Structure 1
Amino acid sequence: MLTTVADIEAAAERIKDHVVRTPTLPGVGLSALLGADVTVKLELLQRTGSFKARGATAKLLSLDEAERAAGVVAVSGGNHGIALAVMAGALDVRATVVMPRSAPARAVDIAKAAGADVVLADTMGRAFALMDEYRASGLTAVHPFDDPTVIAAQGTVGLELAEDAGELTDVLVSIGGGGLIAGVAAALRALRPGVRVWGVETEGAAAMSAALAAGGPVPVELTSVVSTLSAPSVSPLTYEHVSALVTDVVTVTDAEAVRGTLDLAEHAKVWAEPAAGCLLPAARRVLTRVGDDARLGLVICGGNVTTADVADWAERFGVR
């Protein structure tokens, strides 16, 4: 069943004392860059540096006493692990975070500093398998996207955008496993039914595009440097939301995502990660399809990336 706006409103009430209502602002510099009206939702200013704090908090608050005592486990390419570690520490719940070795070192360090037990796996697929093993041993899994509680909480981003933004025609949301776009699309289609919602992926982490082409979730090979979007597959739950509520999913290259990160810094004055940077090249593609009179909303999903990482990627891809 698809998430309802009532589910999202209930999640908003549950987490309101633990998360930030992030700013929704005119993206003046981006409007000049793209040649269309742009509004930004600055989730990189959320607690833990990304929207993931919303879903992690909602799931932690839903635990009963036995589940709290046993602890929780999550798999993450970075942001979900940071969010779970920090919010579990704040709520006095023991957390284990499984990350692939490709995860940013900063994410690993933050999760450890927050008190989580961090386990590294050789691949993202192996990380998900390890999470299942920990769950079988009695820990409660806090899945990064395949959970109605998490999706409803991520949908509070869309709820706030609907309440705080001016008139929008098109909203762009990055996709990893699809939890954020599932929740945002559910909120916007209920509250602003005329708004088109677009997903954005990088070519080496295009699990939702593959699912839409196949008619359901399929495993994909992960080659993107954007670890925070690198889910080995989407879930039936997120696929059903996207196939029902999202206009289309756009793919961009890693180089374009890194260029977008630099453009966000230069033109929007925000330091975002490539998972958000990919929205800018995608916005150009969307504008060619819908026209320059569109009024865009961009969900700037996170900012957990170092200057060194971006500099390395920029050099690798020849981005200046």
Structure 2
Amino acid sequence: MIGITDIETAAEQIAGHVVRTPTVPSPGLSSLLGVPVTAKLELLQRTGSFKARGATAKLLSLSGAERAAGVVAVSGGNHGIALAVMAAALDVKATVVMPRSAPARSVEIVREAGASVQLTDDMDGAFSLVARLRDEGLTLVHPFDDPVVIAGQGTVGLEFAQDADDLTDVLVSVGGGGLLAGVAAALRARRPGLRIWGVETEGAEAMSRALAAGGPVPVPLSSIVSTLSAPSVSPLTYDHVSALVTEVLVVPDREAVRGSLELADHAKVWAEPAAGCLLPAARQVLERVGEGARLGLVVCGGNATTGDVLAWSERFGLR
């Protein structure tokens, strides 16, 4: 299990390479939801999402031989962007494998950062190709199945605990579970009375299916939210979430897109549906815990284009 010392060490190592993002009360979201809401604005992080933290922690941990070999990662968008940009900053050659469903702008950013991009038909194929490239000698930077990466993501929770006023419930989006595992480890150490909730979208339910099955299982992927679409969680993230998290909630894609629009209208931030899903989940939490809740939201990323969100809005009849 990742401990608070691991996360504090990661925070020291990545300081100066990443942004200490704002933790702010949101009057607009507080009015919308009817309870006090504090937002951790990771969409303002370098590369547009929290992923820069774990990628930087991993890159800084590599040996000289591993750096020389170059690194490889699989990504639905944000992890690839983070690895490409941070690897370029640290003078490490990177290869990123992405499914064709990944947002076109994300693929473009990875290429612009200087990384080699390889596209596959689906996420299962992306993970298979990365395994082959790792076997050929590249150093794997896994998006979530790595204790160094999880400790890096956990610095989000460390900062949240330091900067937020009293909270009762914190909501965190879930793909493979690296962010949720790290944030939960940090918050359980610093704010042990908090309830911590994971949030997935329908068709990207790797963690909730794992919790129901008693361990990681492969899941079919159909969500539009590619940045949450892991084909399974890992034993490492599963163990953390099963031990530390209150529950993982699942919301429809349509409500995640609606949440992105609500974040723009009420919080004045442009967030991707991987963060928009927090708002419908917050309403579920409030139905369960009742009055007196004080919510914290980890607004994980903002790498969806206006065109992406408008197209999804049209698709789901939200305009």
- Report the TM-score when normalising by structure 2: 1.00
Q: Which residue of 2 aligns with 1:252?
A: 251
Q: Which residue of 2 aligns with 1:28?
A: 27
2 CA distance for matches of 1:224 and 1:28?
A: 31
Q: Which residue of 2 aligns with 1:271?
A: 270
| Residue pair 1:70, 1:138 contacting (<8 A) in 2 also | yes
| Residue pair 1:112, 1:118 contacting (<8 A) in 2 also | yes
One-letter amino acid of the counterpart of residue 43, structure 2: L
1 CA distance for matches of 2:236 and 2:65?
A: 27
| SS at 1:204 equivalent | coil
The Cα shift of 1:24 comes to 0.1
1 CA distance for matches of 2:205 and 2:77?
A: 18
The number of aligned residues is 319
Q: Which residue of 2 aligns with 1:130?
A: 129
2 CA distance for matches of 1:263 and 1:160?
A: 25
Q: Which residue of 1 aligns with 2:140?
A: 141
2 CA distance for matches of 1:212 and 1:70?
A: 37
For residues 146-165 of structure 1, the aligned pairs below 5 Å read: 146-165=145-164
2 CA distance for matches of 1:292 and 1:23?
A: 26
One-letter amino acid of the counterpart of residue 77, structure 1: G
One-letter amino acid of the counterpart of residue 239, structure 1: Y
| Residue pair 1:15, 1:57 contacting (<8 A) in 2 also | yes
| Residue pair 1:257, 1:277 contacting (<8 A) in 2 also | yes
2 CA distance for matches of 1:152 and 1:292?
A: 33
2 CA distance for matches of 1:26 and 1:292?
A: 18
2 CA distance for matches of 1:86 and 1:130?
A: 21
One-letter amino acid of the counterpart of residue 182, structure 2: G
| SS at 2:31 equivalent | helix
2 CA distance for matches of 1:47 and 1:222?
A: 28
- 1:188 maps to 2:192: no
Q: Unpaired runs of 5+ in structure 1?
A: none
Listed one character per residue, the Cα deviations across residues 195-230 of structure 1 (whole Å, up to 9, x for unaligned) are 010000001101000000000000100000000000
Q: Which residue of 2 aligns with 1:197?
A: 196
One-letter amino acid of the counterpart of residue 296, structure 2: G
For residues 176-255 of structure 1, the aligned pairs below 5 Å read: 176-255=175-254
For residues 15-164 of structure 1, the aligned pairs below 5 Å read: 15-164=14-163
Listed one character per residue, the Cα deviations across residues 167-210 of structure 1 (whole Å, up to 9, x for unaligned) are 00000000000000000000000000000100000011010000
| SS at 2:39 equivalent | strand
| SS at 1:205 equivalent | coil
| Residue pair 1:85, 1:111 contacting (<8 A) in 2 also | yes
One-letter amino acid of the counterpart of residue 195, structure 1: L
| Residue pair 1:25, 1:39 contacting (<8 A) in 2 also | yes
The Cα shift of 1:292 comes to 2.6
Q: Which residue of 1 aligns with 2:291?
A: 292
1 CA distance for matches of 2:77 and 2:237?
A: 20
Q: Which residue of 2 aligns with 1:174?
A: 173
Listed one character per residue, the Cα deviations across residues 268-306 of structure 1 (whole Å, up to 9, x for unaligned) are 000000000000000000000011310000000000001
Percent identical? 76
One-letter amino acid of the counterpart of residue 32, structure 1: S
| Residue pair 1:176, 1:230 contacting (<8 A) in 2 also | yes
Listed one character per residue, the Cα deviations across residues 250-277 of structure 1 (whole Å, up to 9, x for unaligned) are 1000000000000000000000000000
The Cα shift of 1:27 comes to 1.1
| SS at 1:36 equivalent | coil
Q: Unpaired runs of 5+ in structure 2?
A: none
| Residue pair 1:35, 1:292 contacting (<8 A) in 2 also | no
| SS at 2:199 equivalent | strand
1 CA distance for matches of 2:258 and 2:302?
A: 15
2 CA distance for matches of 1:250 and 1:38?
A: 18
Q: Which residue of 2 aligns with 1:14?
A: 13
One-letter amino acid of the counterpart of residue 30, structure 2: S
Q: Which residue of 1 aligns with 2:310?
A: 311
2 CA distance for matches of 1:257 and 1:281?
A: 7
2 CA distance for matches of 1:199 and 1:23?
A: 21
The list of structure 1 runs, each at least 4 consecutive aligned residues, that deviate by more than 6 angstroms after superposition, is none
1 CA distance for matches of 2:241 and 2:102?
A: 26
